[in-house]
Amino acid sequence: MAIGVTTPTGNVGSELIRRLVQAGERPVALVRDPSRLGPDVATTVEARRGDLADIRYVTEALQGVDALYLVIPEVLDVDDPEADAEALAEAVIAAAEAARVGRIVFQSSLGAEQRTGAGFISALGRVEERLDALSARTGTRVCHLRCGYLFSNLLMDLDGLRRGELRNAIPEDTPLPWVAPTDVAAVACGRLLSTAWTGRVAQAVSGPEDLTFPQVAAIVADATGWPVTYSRDADADVRRGLADAGFSQAAVDSIAGMSEGIRDAYHAAERTAVATTPTSLVGWVRQHLPRGTG
């Protein structure tokens, strides 16, 4: 079995590569820079070097691949991030069809089922539709992993956390399913290795519990000793700050729309045994944000 992994050096992809290697597979890494794979897996991975935006490269890289883990990178410093993402997805899906890839596991997001009104997350929903159409047309098995809020998003503003600030536009009383990238990788690994499932599947990956941002701030503060509290940013302030930073209007809509549009969707997410994964936020914080480093 040949399993392809896009973005194999990312938070989820790097862990997925390791799990596939541990399962006895030699995964195919679609990667721009093979040196970033790390010495622990470099000799156990088949690196096929290139850019996902190069349709010729992707078509060649997917030859002989039976299953593919697909991530559409969130590139926000372009004129229209959503159009850019959908164009990239369309090209990769065409390449997968040409290569007759039998199973595709797509890293999506809770809220993608809305299709519109949730910024970049809605673009992921439209990618889901393209994959569903591929499945209906060719019989390709497709699984959408609708992931909760990734723990690793906290790493985007470490300086702010050290100063004691956790900021977002999500209301203080809105609980979200928070999930570890390692847990997403574990679920993805199972889906990629299994041939028991068929058709089109949407599977939530929701972590062990729903947490509000003030609860997250308290967990981070307790685990690190940093004086972290949560401050909610008004939607208008977020949009103004992005515009002042030079983002296009389409990019502002795509970035700000994520927090504006997913609130009700996250509330509506059903927590099931299949969706619930084990890694706690406090355990992850203790590993990645060591106490006393602030």
pLDDT tens digits for range 154-211: 999 999 999 999 999 999 999 999 999 999 999 999 999 999 999 999 999 999 999 9
Copy the structure tokens of residue 135: 């499945």
Q: If 0-12 CB within 10 Å is exposed, 13-18 middle and 19+ buried, where does residue 40 land? A: exposed
Residue ranges of the domains in the chain? 3-154+178-205
Dist CA 283 CA 156 (whole Å) = 18
Dist CA 102 CA 262 (whole Å) = 31
Question: Residues 21-55: pLDDT tens digits?
Answer: 999 999 999 999 999 998 888 889 999 999 998 98
The answer to whether the CB of 190 falls within 8 A of the CB of 145 is no
The answer to whether the CB of 148 falls within 8 A of the CB of 176 is yes
Dist CA 166 CA 33 (whole Å) = 33
Give me the chain's average pLDDT, please. 93
Task: Show Cβ contacts of residue 20 under 8 Å, excluding neighbours closer than 6 positions.
Answer: 3, 5, 27, 189, 192, 193
Q: Residue 270: pLDDT band by 50, 70, 90 thresholds?
A: confident
The answer to whether the CB of 103 falls within 8 A of the CB of 63 is no
pTM: 0.94
Give the class (CATH, top level) of 3-154+178-205. Answer: alpha beta
The CA R_g of the chain, rounded to the nearest whole Å, is 19
